Chains A and B, each alone.
Chain A
Amino acid sequence: MEEKLIEFIKNEYLEDPDIIITEDTKLISSGLIDSFSLVSLQTFIEREFGKMIPPPKITAESFDTVKQMVEIINQF
């Protein structure tokens, strides 16, 4: 799950393919992903993992790193 998320984020949102993303990299609070991109991330998660993550759970605080994303995905 982590690899798929990292791959999607790198391909979809980052201009520089050399940026290294780990599961602890801060994505929203660091500005790597803007809040509008979260809609397509939400759609990707639903398509790929069959989980609809409710918008209140997709915030800069709770959805900032891939690790946090995985935790939230596993809650639903």
Chain B
Amino acid sequence: MIFDIKFFLLLAISSAVYWQIPRQNIRNLFLSVISLGFIYYLDKYALIVVIFLTVYTYAFGFLIETKDKRGLYHKFGIIGLILALIIFKYLGLLSNTFNGIIEFFGQLPVIKIEKILLPLGLSYIIFKYISYLTDIYWRIVKKGTFAEFLLYGSLFTIFFAGPIERFEKFKPQIETEGLKFKSEYLKYSFDRIVYGLFKKFVIADWIAYLINPILKSTNENSIEIKILALFGYSIQIYMDFSGYSDIAIGSSKLFGITIMENFNYPYLKQNISQFWRSWHISLSDWIRDYIFMPLSRYSNNKVWFYFFVPLISMGICGIWHGASFGFLVWGLWHGLGISIFQIYSYMEKRNKRLKNISKVILIKPVSILITFVFVTAGWIFFIYLNQ
């Protein structure tokens, strides 16, 4: 549990000290030190990885911004970050899969790879750093000072569970001198944190208390009860994760930093595409900007665009959540949903009869219900294939 009493104590003390510091660059340094100290406290191993990745990424950011072969430096920088993610997060899964195949064919020697401990917050920091390097490469943002970048990478309020903020939005907020504390920050933070805690500890945890025994039991409950529990899980996971985001956003505001919203009533959307623009927005935007759109440009082939691109993009989105086939299948499920939706929209545009039928059948409540049922069905892979 990251958002515990120690977190809130640190938040209260560090924000009080933060606003006493007159210079913004010293504030940034102070907040970085506090953040790194908190990361060290929770996971010593993660601190080493964060410092190494930060120096590595900033060095490549410098090379991309200042040298001629910027494309080459961008590629090398990204490859290094992806390798770090594979080594720490996926090597165990890859070796198990590989050994499974070897065992299937028999006789061949099994390769033993000890599972490396996954440092806290690694998936988030790697995605943030990939966006940082790519945005410098695309000339959207300047590399900033090392202190600014260090704070971007380590800020303890968003380090462990996002949102995956962009440096482009983050940097202007921490480089302006003379920012003063406003009482609105305190009110906004308090409201947002209380709201998040309520969603997480009152709603989500109580739903979990009710449904976990049903979802984990093998056959004592009827299928109707299990389906009901699955819908409960839909609500629970939303309340849990969006509650975390509320706390992260509210906590950051205590330092005057506005972090992007991560949820926008996702279960009230009329199709799977709209759902993904409202669920874990910082991740879905990331997938769209750095995977979906660049992949789409590779070919004009319609099968590639309508089928493979959503499947690959959402497969990556799934596996980002954890090194297990359950997450991968969950991602592919959503990729398939987006693919079907894209093809349907394409056909609907070109077929007036289909459009008229859609207008009659797919009225708003029906569309919302279909989307919600589709998303809820997807959680089955989350729950059962990851056990």
Contact = CB atoms under 8 A, between A and B. Distances in A.
Interface in B279-304: 285, 288-290, 293-294, 296-297
Given A42-B293, A42-B297, A56-B140, A35 B135 contact: no
A65 B305 CA distance: 25
B349 A55 contact: no
Contact of A55 (B277, B293, B342): B293
Interface string B95-120: 00000000000000000000000000
B342 A36 contact: yes
A35 B342 CA distance: 10
B312 to A, nearest CB: 14
B135 A39 contact: no
Contacts of A59: 285
Contacts of A35: 273, 277, 288
Contacts of A36: 273, 342, 345
B216 interface: no
B168 A56 contact: yes
Contacts of A76: 139
B293 A39 contact: yes
Contact of B273 (A34, A52, A58): A34
B327 to A, nearest CB: 24
B253 interface: no
B180 to A, nearest CB: 28
A61 to B, nearest CB: 11
A24 interface: no
Contact of B345 (A34, A42, A56): A34
Nearest to B134: A54
B297 A54 contact: no
A57 to B, nearest CB: 7
Contacts, number: 40
B166 A55 contact: no
A15 interface: yes
A41 B196 CA distance: 39
Nearest to B286: A56
B76 interface: no
B305 A39 contact: yes
B138 interface: yes
A57 B140 contact: yes
Interface string A34-76: 1110110011000000001011111100000000000000001
A54 B140 contact: yes
B299 to A, nearest CB: 11
B139 A58 contact: no
A38 B285 CA distance: 14
B139 A55 contact: no
A27 B219 CA distance: 51
Interface string B133-167: 00100111000000000000000000000000010
Interface of B: 131, 135, 138-140, 166, 168, 273, 277, 285, 288-290, 293-294, 296-297, 305, 342, 345, 349
14 contacts: A34-B273, A35-B288, A39-B293, A39-B296, A39-B297, A42-B293, A54-B138, A54-B140, A55-B288, A55-B290, A56-B135, A56-B138, A56-B166, A76-B139
Interface of A: 15, 34-36, 38-39, 42-43, 52, 54-59, 76
Given A39-B296, A39-B305, A57-B140, 12 more contacts: A35-B277, A38-B293, A43-B297, A54-B138, A54-B139, A55-B290, A56-B131, A56-B138, A56-B166, A56-B289, A59-B285, A76-B139
Q: Nearest 6 pairs between A and B by C-beta?
A: A54-B138, A55-B293, A55-B289, A39-B296, A56-B289, A54-B140
